[in-house]
C-alpha cells in the first residue's frame, strides 16, 4: 500500500497558511458598515473588531454564531488532519462562548493526484470530532483543487447577554491561556522531517469546549482563540479592540515538549515570521531574545483560548493594564510586579439562559 505524506502536497500547513494579518485587514477594511435590506436578525458581532466569529441576534435570549475555517494539511495522517481541522473550526464558536449546533464540510481535493479514499478519511476525522462536540455534520461543498484543503463552516447558538468578545477587556484583568504554545514549530518540523509529535496532535484535537463553558460560567466577557496570528498577534487584536494594553510574562507561557528545540533548530514557518513583523512595532520585546519572540508569535493551529480572567485549566500568563504607548509589554519573570494595576470594571450579568437547539 502506498503511503502518502499529505503535508508534501501543499506549500504550507495549517493556520500558518493564513493571509498575513496586516494584508488581511487591508482587504476587509471597506467591508464593514454595510447593512442588508430587511435583515432577519441584528448583527451583534461583525467585522469591526476582527473577532473570532459573527453573532446575529434572533431573539432577546438567543443569537446565532457563524464561522468558517479551513486549511492545508498540518499532519500527514488524513484522519488526524480531519480531526484537527474540525476542532479548529469549532474553536471559533467556543471562543465566543457559544455551542456548536451544525457544521458543513469544506473540501478541496486534487482528485487526480491523491486517492479519494484519503479524502474519506479526512471527512471521517472531522465527523468524529464534531460528534464529540455534539454538533451535526450535514453535507458541505467540495472542489477539485491543486492542493488538499479541509475545514468546516459551523453554526452555533449563544445567549447574547453572555457572549465572549475580544473588545470587552478591562485593565486589571489577568490573562489566562488554556493550551500550551509550540504547535506551529512542531508542525513545521513534522512537514520537513516526517517526525510525528503526538503531543501536538493531542493539543490540536482537544476541544476548547470546557474552557469556554468555564469562562461563561465565571462571568467572563472577553476571550479569543490563539490560531494563525500567534499569541502576540491575537492578543494585539484584543487589546486594540478593548482600548487597553497588556503585559505578558514570557516565563509563565507554557510550551509543548520539543517546541524550544524546534525553534532552536530553525523550524519556524513563514507565517510565524510574518506575525512577528506585524506586531513588532506595537510590542516591547526588549527583554527577550529573537527565538523567544518567534515562539510568542508561533502560528498555532487549533490552539487554546486566551481569556481575560482566571479560568479552570488555564495558566495565568499576564494581565491587561491601562492603555500605554506599547500595546503589549513582554517581560521575563515577575512580569506583573510593579505594573500599575487597576480594579477591573465589573459589569453585573443576568442569570444564565440555557439555549438548546
The cell numbers describing 353, all together, are 439562559
- Beta bridge partner(s), residue 74: none
- Beta bridge partner(s), residue 106: 141, 151
Give residues with Cβ within 8 angstroms of 136, minimum separation 6. Answer: 101, 102, 103, 130
From CA 112, how far away is CA 144, in angstroms rounded?
A: 9
From CA 221, how far away is CA 233, in angstroms rounded?
A: 20
Q: Is 355 a catalytic residue?
A: no
From CA 87, how far away is CA 90, in angstroms rounded?
A: 5
- Beta bridge partner(s), residue 105: 140, 152
SS3 string of 219-242?
CCCEEEECCCCHHHHHHHHHHHHH
Q: Which residue has the cell 506575525?
A: 275
Local structure of 55: helix, strand or coil: strand
Identify the active-site residue in 15, 135, 222, 355.
15
From CA 151, how far away is CA 141, in angstroms rounded?
A: 10
Local structure of 130: helix, strand or coil: helix
Q: Which residues are catalytic?
A: 15
Amino acid at each position: 500500500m502506498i503511503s502518502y505524506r499529505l503535508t508534501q502536497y501543499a506549500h504550507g500547513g495549517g493556520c500558518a497558511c493564513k493571509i498575513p494579518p496586516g494584508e488581511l485587514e487591508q482587504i476587509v477594511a471597506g467591508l464593514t458598515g454595510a447593512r442588508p435590506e430587511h435583515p432577519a436578525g441584528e448583527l451583534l458581532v461583525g467585522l469591526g473588531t476582527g473577532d473570532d466569529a459573527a453573532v446575529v441576534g434572533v431573539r432577546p435570549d438567543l443569537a446565532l454564531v457563524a464561522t468558517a475555517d479551513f486549511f492545508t494539511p498540518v499532519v500527514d495522517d488524513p484522519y488526524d488532519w480531519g480531526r484537527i481541522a474540525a476542532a479548529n473550526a469549532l474553536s471559533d464558536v467556543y471562543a465566543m462562548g457559544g455551542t456548536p449546533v451544525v457544521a458543513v464540510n469544506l473540501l478541496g481535493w486534487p482528485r487526480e493526484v491523491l486517492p479519494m479514499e484519503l479524502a474519506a478519511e479526512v471527512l471521517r476525522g472531522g465527523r468524529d470530532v464534531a460528534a464529540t462536540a455534539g454538533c451535526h455534520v450535514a453535507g458541505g461543498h467540495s472542489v477539485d483543487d491543486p492542493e488538499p484543503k479541509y475545514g468546516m463552516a459551523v453554526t452555533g447558538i449563544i445567549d447574547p447577554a453572555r457572549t465572549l468578545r475580544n473588545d470587552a477587556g478591562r485593565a486589571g484583568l489577568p490573562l489566562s491561556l488554556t493550551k500550551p504554545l509550540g504547535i506551529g514549530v512542531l508542525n513545521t518540523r513534522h512537514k520537513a522531517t516526517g517526525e510525528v509529535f503526538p503531543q501536538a496532535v493531542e493539543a490540536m484535537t482537544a476541544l476548547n469546549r470546557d474552557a469556554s463553558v468555564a469562562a461563561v460560567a465565571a462571568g467572563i466577557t472577553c476571550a479569543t482563540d490563539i490560531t494563525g496570528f500567534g499569541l502576540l498577534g491575537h492578543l494585539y487584536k484584543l487589546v486594540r479592540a478593548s482600548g487597553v494594553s497588556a503585559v505578558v510574562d514570557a516565563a509563565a507561557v507554557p510550551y509543548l515538549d520539543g517546541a524550544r528545540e524546534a525553534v532552536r533548530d530553525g523550524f519556524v514557518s513563514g507565517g510565524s515570521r510574518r506575525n512577528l513583523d506585524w506586531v513588532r512595532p506595537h510590542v516591547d520585546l526588549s527583554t527577550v531574545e529573537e527565538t523567544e519572540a518567534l515562539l510568542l508569535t508561533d502560528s498555532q493551529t487549533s490552539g487554546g483560548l486566551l481569556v481575560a480572567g482566571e479560568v479552570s485549566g488555564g495558566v495565568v500568563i499576564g494581565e491587561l493594564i491601562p492603555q500605554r504607548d506599547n500595546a503589549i509589554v513582554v517581560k521575563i519573570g515577575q512580569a506583573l510586579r510593579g505594573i500599575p494595576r487597576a480594579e477591573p470594571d465589573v459589569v453585573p450579568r443576568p442569570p444564565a439562559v440555557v439555549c438548546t437547539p
